[in-house]
Structures are given as C-alpha cells and as structure tokens.
Amino acid sequence: MSSEFDLIRQYFTRPTPSAVLGVGDDAALLQVSPGMELAVSVDMLVAGRHFGEADGPGTVGHKSLAVNLSDMAAMGATPRWATLAIALPAADEKWLRGFAGGFFGLASKFGVELIGGDTTRGPLNICVQIMGEVPPGQALRRDGAKAGDEIWVSGTLGNAALALAHYQRRVELEHREAAAMLPFLHLPQPRVAAGIALRGIATAAIDISDGLLADLGHILEQSGVGAEIHFERLPLHEVVRRHIQDEVARNCVLAGGDDYELCFAAPADRHETILDLARQLELPLTCIGRTTFGAGLRLLRKGEIMAVGAKGFDHFAA
C-alpha cells in the first residue's frame, strides 16, 4: 500500500521552475514578479455537493482548478501558482491518476504550478488555493461600477445548470441536448484571457458561479448602484433557448450557477472596444443592460418588469 508521501511524490510532485521552492518542504517559497500585486483565492469542492460519485476523476480534477482559475479571470490576474489539500476515503491510485491528469492538464494550459498542499484520510473533499499576479491598480474589483455603465457577460448562460437539472429530473432533455450541455457542467472553461484583456476597460467584474442575478447583485451592492437587465438580450445556447419557456430553464439562466463566465461593467463609450475584444478572443461578449442610480436590480422582458423566483445558489439556504 502506498504511503501519503508516496502518493504525493507519484501524483502531485511536478517541476516548479517559477517557484523558489515547491513541493516537499514545510512551505513553498515564491518570488512575485517585480512591480506586481499578488491575487489569492481559495475554493472547496465537496463530494455529493459539487460533484457526484459517478463523475469521472479527470473531470473532478479539471473542475477543482477551473473554479479557481475563474476567480483569477474575474480579477484580471495572471494565474501562477496553486496549492492542493485533498481528503481521500482511501488511496485509490486509479482515481488519483485520473484526478491528477485532469488537474495538471488544465494547469499546464494556463501555466499554473502546484507548489504544495496536504493529503489526509476522510470523506472526499478537495480544496485548491490559487495565486496570481496583476499590475498595481489594475485588478478588476466588484466595487468600481458607476451609474450609466453597461453590463456585459461572456459566453452563454444556464448551460451547466440545465445539465444538472436534467440529471435531477427537473427538466427533460433529449439525449443529444444533454450531451451538448454536459461539458459545461463537468469541464468549465475559465475566461482568463478575457479577464486580462479587460484590465483598464471594465470598471467592475465577477465570475458567475452562483447565478447571474446573485453575482451581479454583489457588484451592485459593493458599487452602490442599481441595474436594469433585459432578459431578451441574455446570450443563450441553442439548447437552452429551446427550453426557455420552461420555468426551470429560465431559473437555470438567471440563478442556476456553475456558468463560470464573466459578468462585468464598463463605460458605454467602450462598447466598440469590447466588441473588438470579443472578435480577438473569439469569445461572445454581450451587453445585457446598464447600471442605474439608486439600489436594486430590475429584470425587464419586452419592457415589462419580470418576476423572478430563484435568486441564486446559497450553500446554507433552507
């Protein structure tokens, strides 16, 4: 049977050329690039809550890092290093091999080095901390939106939530529809390049992890502004659009979570600049509304205020 340290050496020890000291000591040593600020975020994924027992270890490894990369994207930061703490029910080497493959496959794509962490025995639980760099004063924060800014989102909304709703039998998708939605749930693509490109353009930003309404609400609250959002402008995948008359599908779009797209505010005079960025990035960027004076968020559909049931994911909601 492999020991804890055997598992670390075999599955989680990789070269860390940009770190002064990586895996193998009591702490890692880092040298931040001259003139840069350090951005740090951490996320936890719990079996049965964030992923199911039937989910492949490769997709779990990918998603455990992707959700953290999405936080770096929302800050406009370049991801650099990560730590990984993982509790395992048993030393299942086949599972670990798959998990490490998914994790390091994404890490390599974004130039992230695993510099340390911890392993222990217990219910399956994965905690990743990520560190990135951003030039001073250029981080995308939640508190900078001004009344009159346009509100934008990247990609399309509701795909992952619709896939989960299908799994939970709250909505029925055809086989080909479900197949089209599943990658959005299991293999989210963090918008790091978009976040970096929006430095100096966006006045505020957040990644959509708990649902559009909830996460946009954080920008509005911290910026002290309100907003008007037009439902018909929300960017939808063709599968979601086919089901949008269903209340479940509408809630997936507005409050489903797990999109890992960016929601950001920007001055109206940067509209064409953002459309140019969308073409350069080959990523849809869609203006969905505008910030307003005062508080509160109004969702409009064909000019009429639209009532909304669900507001967003909350781990501790009843």
Per-residue pLDDT tens for 119-171? Answer: 889 999 999 999 999 999 999 999 999 999 999 999 999 999 999 999 999 99
User: Average of pLDDT values for 217-233?
Assistant: 97
Alpha-carbon Rg for the chain, nearest whole angstrom, is 20
Residue spans of alpha helices (H) in the chain: 4-7, 57-75, 93-110, 159-167, 175-186, 192-197, 212-223, 238-242, 247-255, 271-281
Instruction: Give the distance from CA 61 to its chain's centroid.
Output: 14
Question: Tell me, what's the pLDDT at 207?
Answer: 98
**Superfamily (CATH) of domain 150-305:** PurM-like C-terminal domain (3.90.650.10)
> End-to-end alpha-carbon separation of the chain, Å?
42
Q: Is 26 exposed, middle or buried (0-12, 13-18, 19+ CB in 10 A)?
A: exposed
The confidence band for 317, taking pLDDT boundaries of 50, 70 and 90, is: very low
CATH 3.90.650.10 domain residues, the chain: 150-305
Per-residue tokens: 141: 């924060």
Query: Three-class SS of residue 23?
Result: coil
Question: Tell me, what's the pLDDT at 2?
Answer: 63
Fold of 4-134: 60s Ribosomal Protein L30; Chain: A; (3.30.1330)
Contacts of 205 (CB under 8 A, 6+ apart): 74, 75, 76, 140, 141, 142, 195, 198, 219, 262, 263, 264, 265
Contacts of 111 (CB under 8 A, 6+ apart): 79, 80
Question: Tell me, what's the pLDDT at 3?
Answer: 66
| pLDDT over 50 (residue 313) | no
**Is the torsion defined by CA of 153, 282, 162, 164 positive or negative?**
negative
Least confident range of 47-51, 85-89, 134-138? 47-51
CATH 3.30.1330.10 domain residues, the chain: 4-134
| pLDDT tens string 70-85 | 999 999 999 999 999 9
Mean of pLDDT over the chain: 92
Q: Is 101 exposed, middle or buried (0-12, 13-18, 19+ CB in 10 A)?
A: middle
Question: Tell me, what's the pLDDT at 28?
Answer: 86
| pLDDT over 60 (residue 312) | no
pTM of the model: 0.92
